[in-house]
Amino acid sequence: MKKVLNILIFISLFSGLAGCCPNGCFVLTGPAFEALANPIPMREQWSKMDKSDAERRLDWESCGGYQDGNFSPTQKTIDDERQLWETNESPADGRLLRKLQRCMLRKGYHYIGKCYDNEISRTLPACGAP
């Protein structure tokens, strides 16, 4: 009995380390792997016909985006935006993202990223929210 238990423990540990579960193993390849390994910067989801990449970079940064093309506010920026009654950082982070999107829209950019039929996308200016 002890030998069977040891074998089951070994199989469980090995399966967990090998990316497997009781329903089978999986390994990401192709487009799914590429999307996770090399995500497209958020800045690339904005387009404006008469702007070069360099101009878009400058506009992105002036709206609060990072040089690498993404958006991840600093702790100080979140703390400055956070209201006294808020119990976590999510509302402030969301407001900062919406401010960035409104800024890009005011500069004449069009959002070419994905908008989903869900509660989150319906709140984003890039997806048509006020």
pLDDT tens profile 96-123 = 999 999 999 999 999 999 999 999 999 9
Domain boundaries, the chain: 1-39, 42-130
pLDDT tens profile 42-96 = 999 999 998 899 999 999 999 999 999 999 898 998 899 898 898 888 889 999 9
The DSSP string of the chain is -HHHHHHHHHHHHHHHHTTEETTEE----HHHHHHHHSPPPGGGGEE-TT--HHHHHHHHHHTT--TTS-----HHHHHHH--TT-SSSHHHHHHHHHHHHHHHHHTT-EE-S---SSTTGGG-GGGT--
pTM for this predicted structure? 0.72
